Amino acid sequence: MPGIVGRVQTVVGGQWSNSSSPTGTQREQLDLASDLFGSMVEDLRQLVDVDLPDLQDRLEAADVPWTPGRGVPRWP
């Protein structure tokens, strides 16, 4: 089963150099991708807004060396 990205890529690829309206299949793929994303957006929000900052705080507290993606490192 294609996931969200695969469904959206199908639509984008089909419309990339096309000036006509999206096909019924493309509209269906976008609707399915939207439904899939809608069902998981709150889990994603929890992960990004709550769980990730908590993990970063615990890494800082444990003096784990800075790694890319962890924001701006603390400077002495």
* Percent of the chain that is helix, strand, coil (3-state, to 5): 65, 0, 35
pTM over 0.75: no
pLDDT tens digit string along 11-67? 999 999 989 999 999 999 999 999 999 999 999 999 999 999 999 999 989 989 988
Whose tokens are 């439904």? That residue is: 35
Count CB neighbours of 7 within 10 A.
22
Q: Using CB atoms within 10 A of its CB, is residue 1 exposed (0-12), middle (13-18) or buried (19+)? A: exposed
